[in-house]
Chains A and B, each alone.
Chain A
Amino acid sequence: MSHSDGSGCPPEALHTQVEFSTDQPQEGSPETEFRQRPDRSFLRKFYNRRLRFPDGEELEIWSFEDERSGRSFPGPLTRAREGEIVHVELKASKSAHTIHHHGVEPDPRNDGVGHSSFEVTGSYTYQFIVNEGKPGDPNSGAAGTYFYHCHVNTVLHVQMGMFGPMIFDPATGRGKAFVDDPIGYDTRAETMLVTWSSDRRWHRMSHGAGLDGEDAGLNRFEPTNFYLLGGNLDTPPRREGVHSIDRIFATAEPDAPGLLRVNNANYVPTVISFGGGLKAELIAHDGRPLRDTAVRPSPPVSAQTDKLAFGAAERYDMRLRPPRGAISGDTFPITVQWLHWITGETLASKTTTVELL
């Protein structure tokens, strides 16, 4: 069916499935239309490297690096403020890739999806503006937690490691989770936790595995190793390699709590359990604060829990609330379970520690 409306727009091309899978529109180094002066610029250059994980596993990883990050995994943090124009330059290093800034909503050319725009084999600068929040308005504002990833043969490329964390702050910067965050957080205790698992069978595949109709077994994600990736956001890691979490900081201060940002970057559901009386006070989901929208203006709302269940690509922001009487140096366990996407059985669990500053 053509989408042409008579205004000169090309109709959508028709394809068989194998044509569609093998022949996405590719452009070497397309131009960024209506290019503006950016407030923030980031470089995301493709790399591939064999990386060693904390459990001794060695995997072929494809990911992104910038001028300073070295070949680390996940890719470097993209962080900007509401109202800023952001440029992200992808250098694809000859193979075809894109960057989809997951949860960011620009026009299709800047959305990083092959079939609705193009794949990049040279370089392309994605351009978007971080939507600005207004206090009490549930219809605006983008401050929150995101991630970015390649959207070419996505099932494989994301599992190979082509993703990185992304955070938008309100215009005032760090310390508030969103424009009318009534409490804020202690910036020393801001943590990114990425739940991820790997299927080592997949890490031996080529970029285009399965696209020509071969049975690459990409319908079967059977994770063999499980990781808590990320780290403290106040002291970004300098070293190359795998960034995994060994400790999460929180505070005993009710008016300046720790802030935990979580992102499920694999394909199976995960459950986080908070132990020792520690509670998670949920304040935002998928980059949008939770609000009471029965009234105008619509104030932020939250709720405490000791269990959070979330699936592939979801993000949550939460204040970490220790039990009354807790003091600096106290520790609490956080356990992450990975569940089978069909049976719901627990595949594995990992525990890390929350320490009060």
Chain B
Amino acid sequence: MLRLRSVPIPTVAALGVTMTYAVSLWLVLLHQAEGGHEHNEPALLVHWLRDGTLALPGVVAAVWLGAALALGVVDRDERLPAPWRTALMAAGAAVGGAIALAAGNPLHTWLFDVREANGLPAGLHLGRDALIALSVGLPVAAVVTTLSALTTRPRATAPAATPAPPAAPSAPPAVAPSRAPVRAAIAEQGGLTRRGFVRYGAGGVATAGLVGTGLMRASRPARAQVVTDRLELFINEGHVAMVDGTLVYMRGFGDEQSGDPNPSLTISPRVFLADGRGPIDSRVYPLEGHAEVPEDGTPADDGVDDSGPGLHFISRRRWASFFPRRTIVAETGSTIKLAITNTLSQPHTFTIAEANVDVQLAPGERREIDFPAPGPGTYLYHDKTDAPVNRVLGLYGALVVVPADRPWTLDGDEGEFERQWLWIWADIDPEWGRLARLGTKIDPKKTPCVPRYFTINDRSGVFSLGISPDEEQNHRTHEDTKPSGHARTVDVRDFPHSNDAGLGTGQLIRILNAGVAVHQPHFHGNHVWTIAVNNKTLTRTHVEIVDGHILLQHWEDVIELDPLVTKAVMLPLKPPPDALDVVRANQECDWIFPMHCHAEMSQTAGGGLYPGGMVSDWVLKP
């Protein structure tokens, strides 16, 4: 109920000082106007400053106590909008301060041998002074808390830039060498909003068309937060529109404290660098200025390769990659600095098992953690409480650790790519959401998970295909989810890091199954070359078989993806090998090849609407 940290210290200090001196001035003036006097009474200014200064410690303590009590009693779960919380804080502070100042009156009388002239009994006098203090303190407190809230607005609400045109590789870094949070030019913008949903979904559930899982973000300021040089994560809750318009209760790690109607359930991508900088707000890595940003997500070719129909040369070590929301990118050697606040009324965790990170958070608790980036790979961060319940409810994301010295490889040696992609797969069960919203403890044995929506990077169906009515979302899908490029000659034996930058290579896709079902991503158009499973780079030389699964770098057109498993595969973007040469030579337009899960239940939304689930495309440019 009483959480002193809920009231920022600068706000407490400002409230205490202004209320003390404002109210004490008023009381001194009243005292003189009534004809009261003290033994050896000083001049007005000295009198005022003396009384105020003596009262200051007590008033500060009382103000702090009052504000925190008001917030704790009335809005323990922090569900009220920020302006209401500000008003609550002001009222609590005013009451606390008034009581302290009034209660100090008898002490004041005893200390300075005061002779009052108003003739009031002591109790009434005390009450009157308290009311006077309150009438003066309340507007003062309101002004102070409002100003304080405005000046400590969280950084996540600052406006973000639009994607900039590609910069020359030799251009200076766009990021200032500062330890403070820095916003790179390619920063995440707000995602889908309820307003957007209504616009595109107008016509009812059957014609609605977006999944906004976790993409909604508040456009209004949240309550006052202390800005730090760490990535602030807030465990939030709220309702999210599915691809068919259904609203589903979900939870998530957001980047500001915000619930319905604009819950913040995901973070914009942040980057931690080996040189100590970070978190840097950037959708691309390597950062702009260190690599070219591919327009619409597609790396440009490097000229026509006449050795076969439809072939192009491509560039190695040139292109930046876009990452989806929920991503934390960290270079090897970096320290990841987080502050996690549980805004909800039940305990949660922030867990990355492979990095030995497992933070328990009580309701309302804020914890700061620093940990070194684990080895190169793709890691799930999630809430393990009642697993898999809170993960299915949306409390998950990805930590991508990249080799600082060879950022275009998977692990420093294997998997050198033209650009890379991250796909986070998830299953959504609205019934679990409904039960969680009611506060019911979910037992997966008694209430089995029955997913009805299936997402890749928080998008389904027309959104993950990039063909929805929302062109801004489509643009993002092209940038961070839907691979695209030009056909090239590749040899899988050249996929390891090579000194010959002229060799062809493909695009690396990191696939992370944050859901509960076994998924089977199937690629049309090209087989993919599986390089790593659970961040273990597979051997190239001999077949290992573990529990019936083969471990060897090899071609697959379907990737078995168990829950919590991560795999890294190379999409070669070679000409489709079974197309006739004459057909390849006459390609004029984009060739679009689907990628979808072959556990076909995942291709549905709300029990139908095929293909409305885990589906995307990849695009071969002419």
Give A residues with C-beta under 8 Å from B. 1, 3, 5, 7-10, 12-21, 33-34, 36, 85, 100, 102-108, 110-111, 113, 115-116, 127-131, 138-140, 142, 153-156, 158-159, 209-221, 267-269, 271-272, 282, 285-288, 290-296, 298, 301-303, 305, 307-314, 339, 341-344
Contacts and interface: CB of A to CB of B under 8 A. Distances in A.
Contact of A293 (B540, B550, B594): B540
Chain B interface residue bracket vs A? 35 or more
Contacts of A113: 524, 594
Interface in B547-602: 547-550, 552-558, 560, 563, 576-580, 582-584, 586-594, 598-602
A3 B590 contact: yes
A218 to B, nearest CB: 5
Nearest to B469: A14
12 contacts: A15-B468, A16-B207, A34-B580, A107-B576, A115-B611, A128-B579, A129-B580, A139-B491, A211-B610, A267-B600, A311-B598, A313-B558
B7 interface: no
B540 A211 contact: no
A214 B467 contact: no
A272 B547 CA distance: 11
Nearest to B555: A288
Given A128-B579, A212-B206, A303-B543, A267 B462 contact: no
Interface in B457-484: 460-462, 465-469, 471, 474-475, 477-478
B577 A302 contact: no
Contacts of B525: 105, 108, 111
Which of B520, B526, B587, B609 neighbours the largest number of chain A CB atoms within 10 Å of its CB?
Answer: B609
A158 to B, nearest CB: 7
B600 A20 contact: no
B550 A303 contact: yes
A291 B493 CA distance: 11
Contacts of B601: 155, 218-221, 267, 341
Main secondary structure of the interface of B (DSSP, over half): loop
Contact of A20 (B200, B461, B580): B461
CB-based closest 6 A-B pairs: A210-B608, A16-B209, A309-B548, A9-B589, A303-B543, A215-B607
Given A103-B557, A285-B555, A293-B553, A313 B524 contact: no
A154 B611 contact: yes
Contact of A219 (B201, B450, B541): B450
B580 A128 contact: yes
Contacts, number: 310
Contacts of A17: 208-209, 243-244, 460-462, 468, 605, 609, 612
B599 A311 contact: yes
Contacts of A302: 543
Contacts of B617: 116
Nearest to B489: A139
Contact of B556 (A131, A209, A218, A286): A286
A102 B557 contact: yes
Contacts of B10: none
A303 B549 CA distance: 11
A7 B554 CA distance: 37
Contact of B467 (A15, A129, A311): A15
B594 A115 contact: yes
Contacts of B578: 104-106, 128-131, 142
B434 to A, nearest CB: 16
B22 interface: no
A215 B467 CA distance: 23
Contact of A343 (B448, B556, B608): B448
Given A1-B478, A106-B578, A131-B577, 15 more contacts: A5-B622, A17-B208, A21-B612, A36-B580, A106-B576, A107-B591, A138-B491, A154-B600, A214-B608, A219-B450, A288-B555, A309-B560, A312-B598, A342-B448, A342-B451
Contacts of A303: 542-545, 550
Contacts of A130: 578
A307 B590 contact: no
B136 interface: no
A314 B523 CA distance: 12
Interface string B506-525: 00000000001110101011
B527 A288 contact: yes
A16 B208 contact: yes
A111 B588 CA distance: 17
B388 to A, nearest CB: 9
Contacts of B548: 271-272, 305, 307-310
A294 B200 CA distance: 52
B296 interface: yes
Contacts of B593: 108, 111, 116
B6 interface: no
A138 B449 contact: no
A162 B599 CA distance: 16
A291 B522 CA distance: 21
A21 B610 contact: yes
Given A17-B461, A111-B593, A290 B516 contact: no
A343 B462 CA distance: 29
Which of B544, B552, B604 neighbours the largest number of chain A CB atoms within 10 Å of its CB?
Answer: B604
A282 B549 CA distance: 11
Nearest to A159: B600
Nearest to A8: B588
A286 B555 contact: yes
